[in-house]
Structure 1
Amino acid sequence: MELNGFSVSEFRSIKYSNWIEADKVTALIGTNESGKTNILVPLWKFNPASEGEIDQILDFPRSKYNEFRSLKEKPKFIKVKFILNESESKKISELTNMDYTKFNELICEMDYDLNRSISFPLSKIDRSTDKLKILELLKNTLSSIENTEASKQEESMRDEINKLLNEIINIINSDDKKYIMRADLRIYYDKLGKISLEKAVKTSLIKPLFEKLLEDIYSILFELNKQNPEDIKEVKDFIFSHLPSFVYYSNYGNLDSEIYLPHVIANLKRTDLGPKEAAKARTLKVLFEFVRLSPEEIHELGKEIINGRPPQNQSEIDEIAKRKKERDILLQSASTELTQKFRDWWKQGEYRFRFQADGDHFRIWVSDDNRPEDIELEGRSTGLQWFLSFFLVFLVESKKSHLNSILLLDEPGLSLHPLAQKDLALFFENLAKTNQLLYTTHSPFLIDTDKLDRVRSVYINDDGYTEVSPDLRASQNKTQQQRSIFPVHAALGLSVSDTLLLGCIPIIIEGQSDQNYLTIIKNLLINHKKINPMKEIVFLPAGGVKGIKALLPIITGTSEELPFVIVDSDGPGLKQYKDLIEGIYNSENEKVIQIGSLTTIQNAEVEDLFPHKLLADTFDKSFRAFDVYASDLINNDEAIINQLEKFAQSQNIHLETPGWKVVLSKNVKSRILNKPDLIDPNTEFFSKWIELFSKIVE
């Protein structure tokens, strides 16, 4: 089961977060106090691997605390969407007798009383049936009975059947609706069922015709009366037992090198700890679970007393020594296990850990090849302290189910060196192969500029509530949201620096959606051996066509070589193209590429380099309408974006401008990455792509 997205409402500083799509790795960026933590915590509390209880004082919105506290039915605060795998869908199919493809999507909601509800958006049972289908059944039966010879004994029965069938047909025809509701069909069925067939002779041909009609209507009613899947106990039990657990970790839980056992024992029993103290106590709890000894046991095994007094003979002295030896062996075993498992995760050094207990104190010592002597954990980097603490929480709380756990990391690696933060970002990518991950940050070193589609902006809206948006440009007219995406701008600046330092091929493009599409094209061409670039190709979004000139001086500041620029062939793109080739690119026109040079489509944009059917189908899945689909109406000879916007307007589908294009590009990218053969390499599209990149790659 994979997390697809979620929304938070009426939780702490959040009135409604907006819908937040989730990737394998999702970054939530924002300033301090923007509410990033308040986005992660509800997910954790939805299905925590450990702890995560609702705290009304902390979790209710302060302005509504009195109202919510007095409500008999507490409001829902989290809505989560999962994508089920095939085996899960087929299991629900077995429990419901319905097509398994109807159970691909799952929606779960939870209220403050921990009541969960589920629904399957694709499996809604229609409580109505096609009017023409019922009319056909009735008319065919009526015609057959009218044309069937009846015995004298059956004449009155036949007349009664024909009269009622005509009556029902007239009632149905008088209604303008194209469907018949279940309740109305039941009334017709009951009326037909009251006709007595006692006068039918043994060789009657009318009776089986009429009984067949009743059977057919009953079969339709049976389908209409099916229980909603979400109301079936076995389905709910299966879903709730297979939900991913959420592991939450914040910096507050970092371990200290020296742990005073009496203090730990007391804190683990307390229920009145503040958030920071509770986080620390939680990490200590998982530490001792990993050691497989409670702090009480470690403390007791280290005491040099017997029955509350000092040892009085050799036998008692030996007993104390035996207990200490047992404790040392247990701690040595746990130290070895931690060292081995940690090496599989952390690649910045071959660390060795040693646990030591001495009287009232428990210590963690660290050594490595560069510093072979034992040094207290606190004497090593705070980054190592953070990672070890997070590692223990994840390892212990997720236990054997860690492959089905989703990680929620609040400001991870805040104390790490920038290079280590970059390593941490790479670590996230590897970890995401087995565990989805969402993290909050304001560090540009933890943002991958090649995957900006996975970044979400967290900010305070004009009413003082926390909101989330996938659009990294919409903030430019809102001060708070603009501040929230500063890490993205900084990350892009770092990407530009890397480009200059590492000798990459920089290409300036208009925006994030272009980056997604061009990254797909680059990867597909390389995978199919259509291009073989000797340098890394880096796409740098300018934040819109107006930002291109602002980005140029940064790239050309240390090099006289002008970068490539790709612009759309819509109005603003053509104007920018003209300005560039008549200005700074006057002698290097070939480095400014307009999309219209690759296609005959008027006002073409990057999206027009892809099959329109693919984009329209993805649009239908992303912005679902009711009975009409964009994929049935698109014209391959017109710009696809204009067509989709007109379609949305005709169907009253609200599209966030310009964010919807980013969402669409991200979903197209995801579909192609999951199924690369969606586009045949022998089609005209590959030819256009090769033509485009041949202008760039020598």
Structure 2
Amino acid sequence: MRLSKARIRNYRSVRDTGEFEVENGKTILVGPNEAGKTVILQALQKLNAPDEIEGFEPLRDYPRSEYNDITRGVVDPSDVTVVEGHFTLEEADLEGLEKGYETCNYVFGRRLDNTSWHRIVGGPGLPTYGELSKDLKRLCAHIDKHKEDENPAPSAQLDAVVAGWGDDARIKGERAEKLKEWLEGALPLIDEDNETEEKRYDRLLRACSVHKEQAAALRHLRSRLPVFVLFNNYFRVRPRIHLEHLAQRVQSGVLDDKQYDYGNLCLLKLLGFTPKSLADLGNAKAPNAGDADALKSYQDRLDEREYQLNGASVKLTKEIVSVWMPNPDRAEADRLRIKADGQYLKVVVEDDLGVEVELDQRSEGFQWLVSFFVVFFAEATDRHKNAILLLDEPGLHLHGLKQRDFRETISRLAEKNQTIYTTHSPFLVGPNELDIVRVVDMTDRAVGSKVHGNLSSGDPGALLPLQEALGYDLAQSLFSKTRNLVMEGLTDYWYVEAVAEMLRESGTANLNENIALVFANSAGKVVYYATILHAHKLKVAALLDSDAAGDQAAQQDTLVHTLGNKKIFRTKDYYDGKVKKPEIEDLLRETLIKVAHDDLGWDVGSTAAAHEARPIVNIFDSEIAGFSKYKLAKAFLHWARQKGASDLTESECQQWAELIGSLNKALK
């Protein structure tokens, strides 16, 4: 089961985030401090939190400025849905469900009083009395003729059953049971040779059982709901835990569960011990050698502890090695060890020399990962394969370049567990990941935190990590490769990169992977980028639209002198349609029309068909209010991740294959 959409309302700084989409793999939340990113993760966790995680508390969690509405009885916590999630079903979720639920979605919500509600969207709906009334009348007409005694006719009995039912009354609960009872009483009066009435009866009887099937489906899907595991940087496993002191804090109820003890308790939960049980073992004295039974019992308890500690060590080491590979050649050398020594539980790391050092002597990033897996496995228990990870500022203590590597670690985690994480760091947002970014801002406290899916925000600071990520990637790419293709803007970069990957995977065309793609932010700036790169004795080509801005850039003497005409590529040279001045979007004209319709609800198909000579961007701009080239390109990126070259039109594939072939030849 995958979370596809979420919405949070009336929780701390949030009034209403609006409904925002969640990716199948990882979703990134960016935004300035105090925007509400952490609050959003906290609310999501309580949709289906692990055991022992506290639920909502109206006094603490309802927006403070409106809390008087609760005390005055204007607002009832049982009526306030704080968080709701929309889930798409996977094959494992469909097992045990009746037919008809294959394409449905499951929606689950949690209220402020911690009660929940759920529903199924798109599955078999509950029939209404209005939908069944014609069949019921026709069945009555048939069976009334076969009534021989003087008791009330079946139609009169039915009238008593449905008295007060409106056409929109759902056939469920008591209504369904009463109607079913009437149908079963009417069965002997149906002519068994009358196939039409037999089928009508079966249809009506089936309608009376839909509510039970739906209830069973809801129970089944509720049992399949993913557990949400939230991990904060302060959930740390300590290298040395004094068991007796921890047991005393647990017993007295003075735990600091968010600062010191939470990670430690998760470690013990993972091991299958309570602090007291391990502390008692540390205090236990060996019995007299003459008492064989007591000695064996004592030894068994020590062995059980040792085996459980060893098993947990192996499990954690395996998971950590699978995602943390600072040096792949010696990834297997570092092994985690969990050891009991009297009243101390120690977490140590054995290096490739066999030297054991405490966990806190390793890097902050390594400590974070160990602590994360301990909390993850302890909270998700046997449900960790069906868990959604919520990471608050992961990798905060890592060097910038190590954060960039750790971005791939999170991607590997997200392959098995859907992951949502917050970050301020440009190194944790890849240049090809902008379509999975959601911007969180709070420009007005009266409005509260908002989540934007189109990288728009009223707060420029919210977009800073994205700007820094693009700037860093551009700076790295400018002089990193000897071959460079300069394009006008970011959307051109996305189209070229996405289509090139689609054609490469299909074997249709293979853009040289040694060509760096560089976007200049406007056609006018292409000459500056090309000149700088050429001055460093690098091979450079430029790709320009065939609109007015592209014409002006292509005719600049400096650009022509720097590159020569053979390395200035124009979209019109590869476009085979009727548009006289095509832009790069026209090379994907039919696909973009389809993507815009299916993903954005923008329907320009009829206009585009009637005006084949108009650039497609011009059509979108005139037909769609608030049209954004960026939003269109982002929708294409999302589409391209799930499709292949065969999903493009034959003409589009041919146009792009010719363009890629020319680029490879010019920059060989």
Same fold at TM > 0.5: yes
The 1:595–1:534 alpha-carbon spacing in structure 2 relative to 1, beyond 3 Å, is closer
Partner of 1:65 in structure 2?
A: 67
| TM superposition shift of 1:498 | 3.1
2:2 corresponds in structure 1 to: 2
Shift of 1:461: 1.9
State yes or no: 1:75 paired with 2:71.
Answer: no
Amino acid in structure 1 at the alignment position of 2:549: K
Report what 2:631 is aligned to: 660
1:498 equivalenced with 2:473 (yes/no): no
Deviations 1:92-144 (A, max 9, x none): 553xxx4x5552x34333322331222415866797999xxx9xxx9xxxxxx
Q: 1:423 to 1:440 in 2, by over 3 A?
A: same
Give, in whole Å, the separation in 2 of the partners of 1:548 and 1:678: 34
Indicate the residue corresponding to 1:287 in structure 2: 267
Q: Is residue 397 of structure 1 aligned with residue 398 of structure 2?
A: no
CA distance in 2, matches of 1:299, 1:547: 72
Give the match for residue 679 of structure 1: 648
Aligned to 2:316: 338
The 3-state SS of whatever aligns with 2:549 is helix
Equivalent residue letter for 1:438: I
3-state SS of paired residue (1:298): helix
Cα-to-partner distance string for 1:370-392 (whole Å, 9 max, x where unaligned): x5321111111111100001112
Deviation readout 1:613-639 (Å, 9 max, x if unpaired): x434433332448xxx65577528244
CA distance 1:507–1:31, shift in 2 (3 Å): farther
Matches within 5 A, 1:579-658: 579=553, 581-582=555-556, 584-587=558-561, 588=563, 589-599=565-575, 600-602=577-579, 604-610=582-588, 612=590, 614-624=591-601, 634-635=608-609, 637=612, 638-644=614-620, 648=624, 657=628
Contact 1:6 1:79 in 2 (8 A): yes
Q: Note closer, same or farther for the CA distance 1:400–1:375 as it changes in structure 2 (3 Å cut).
A: same
Task: Confirm or deny: 8 A CA contact 2:6 2:21 kept in the other structure.
Answer: yes
1:256 to partner: Cα distance? 1.9
How much has 1:55 moved relative to structure 2? 3.3
Q: 1:15 matched to which residue of 2?
A: 15
What is the 5 A alignment of 1:161-560? 232-268=214-250, 277-278=257-258, 280-303=260-283, 322=299, 327-328=305-306, 330-348=308-326, 349=331, 350-369=333-352, 372-463=354-445, 465-472=448-455, 474-475=456-457, 478=458, 480=459, 482-500=460-478, 502-503=480-481, 505-541=483-519, 544-545=521-522, 548=525, 552=529, 556=533, 559-560=536-537
1 CA distance for matches of 2:524 and 2:7?
32
Q: 2:27 corresponds to which residue?
A: 26
The residue type paired with residue 39 of structure 2 is N
Aligned pair count?
Answer: 593
In structure 2, the residue matched to 1:578 is 552
Is the contact between residue 577 and residue 592 of structure 1 (CA under 8 Å) also seen in structure 2? no
Separation (CA, whole Å) in 2 of partners of 1:107 and 1:453:
24
Report deviation, 1:299: 0.9
Distance 1:407 1:4, change over 3 A: same
Structure 1 runs not aligned, ≥5 long: 139-180, 187-207, 650-654
User: Which residue identity lines up with residue 684 of structure 1 in the other structure?
Assistant: S
The range that moved more, 432-441 or 508-517, is 508-517
Q: CA deviation at 1:605?
A: 3.7
TM-score (norm 2): 0.76
Partner of 1:111: 111
Instruction: Give yes or no for contact 1:5–1:80 (8 Å, CA) kept in 2.
Output: yes
Provide the secondary structure at the position in 2 that maps to 1:344: helix
> Following TM superposition, by how much is the alpha carbon of 1:449 offset from its aligned partner in structure 2, in angstroms?
0.6
Specify the alignment match of 1:652 in structure 2. none
- Contact map agreement 1:291 1:334 (CA 8 A) in 2: yes
The TM-score with structure 1 as length reference comes to 0.73
8 Å CA contact 1:251, 1:386 repeated in 2? yes
Q: Which moved more, 1:329-338 or 1:352-361?
A: 329-338
8 A contact 2:31–2:440 mirrored in 1: yes
> Counterpart in 2 of 1:35?
36
Q: Relative to 1, partners in 2 of residues 1:623 and 1:525: Cα closer, same or farther, differing over 3 Å?
A: closer
Contact 2:484 2:539 (C-alpha < 8 Å) held by counterparts = no
Give the residue type in structure 2 aligned to 1:585: L
Q: Matched residues in 2 for 1:338 and 1:65: separation? A: 44
**1:40 Cα offset (Å):** 1.7
Rounded Cα–Cα distance in structure 2 between residues aligned with 1:666 and 1:278: 40
Report if the CA contact (8 A) 1:453-1:662 is conserved: no
Closer/same/farther in 2, CA of residues 231 and 659 from structure 1, 3 Å limit = farther
What's 1:669 paired with? 640
Counterpart of 1:79 in 2: which secondary structure?
strand
Segments of structure 2 that go 5 or more residues without pairing to the other structure are 139-165, 172-190
Find the residue that maps to 1:440 and give its secondary structure: strand
> Deviations along 1:502-539, whole A, 9 cap, x unmatched?
42644444555444432221112222334444444444
How far apart are 1:499 and its partner, in Å? 2.0
Deviation for aligned residue 1:240: 1.0
Q: Which amino acid aligns with 1:688?
A: Q
Distance in 2, Cα, partners of 1:667 & 1:606: 18
Q: Deviations over 1:168-195 (max 9, x none)?
A: xxxxxxxxxxxxx9579x9xxxxxxxxx
